[in-house]
Amino acid sequence: MSTQPKSPLTPEQYLEIERKAEYKSEYLAGEMFAMSGASREHNVLVWTLASILFEQLHDRQCELYPGDMRVLVAPTGLYTYPNIVGVCGIPRFRDGHADTLINPTFLAEILSPSTEAYDRGRKFEHYRQIESLQEYLLVAQDRMHADLFLRRSDSNWILAQADRPDDALRLRSLGCELPMARLYQKIDFPSATS
């Protein structure tokens, strides 16, 4: 018995399927990849981060989308759902559906054991191709730690880190400050035993 190879999907076919689907999937090079569920800590961090930023963006021409805004990395063809997407200025979309953003200014991912290597590596390689992207934030859920990558004018990236309750990261692309104590206020970490 032989099996027919699966034909790759076009971006248009992916979007048609995705727009009707109950669950989110990412897309790259003709293939769809189902996204898995998230832990309590992951969800709490997404919504805490979003609320901290929303408070500071109320009088700025920036929009914030937690969790469900699809982003197209046009140079590589990746369609993905960052945990938080921020855009300052006029948001631009792939088409008239206004559900696939092409010009994010800020992206954030909450790290999990199954996605951390991808979020730090290959996914960041894709994200760096987005011309409008100015900052990429990675937030740990197993400890108090955040890495903020900032694009310099020469297109190189510099790293700022925070891992103490009194630390704060300045998100220049959004004009916001992220206090670590507030971000992690509802997360309890297991205490270390000797």
Quick check: is 9 in a domain?
no
Quick check: is 111 in a domain?
yes
Quick check: is 188 in a domain?
no
Mean pLDDT of the chain: 92
Q: What is the DSSP string of 25-90?
A: EEEETTEEEEPPP--HHHHHHHHHHHHHHHHHHTTSSEEEEES--EEEETTTTEEE--SEEEEESS
For residue 169, which phi and psi values (nearest 5 degrees)? Answer: -105, 135
Residue 144: other Cβ atoms inside 10 A: 18
Quick check: is 148 in a domain?
yes
Q: Which two tokens stand for residue 7?
A: 């034909």
Quick check: is 53 in a domain?
yes
Quick check: is 155 in a domain?
yes
CA distance 149 to 81: 19
Domain of residue 101 covers 38-183
Q: What's the domain count of the chain?
A: 1
Q: Tell me the pLDDT tens digit for each residue of 74-107.
A: 999 999 999 999 999 999 999 999 999 999 999 9
CA distance 148 to 151: 10
Distances (CA, A) of 147 to 99, 107, 168, 177, 190: 28, 12, 11, 14, 21
Quick check: is 6 in a domain?
no
> Is the pLDDT confidence value at 7 over 90?
no
Which residues lie closer than 8 Å to 161 by C-beta, 6 or more apart? 145, 146, 147, 148
CATH number of the structural domain spanning residue 173: 3.90.1570.10
Residue 51: other Cβ atoms inside 10 A: 13
Q: Tell me the pLDDT tens digit for each residue of 107-159.
A: 999 999 888 999 999 999 999 999 999 999 999 999 999 999 999 988 899 99
Quick check: is 193 in a domain?
no
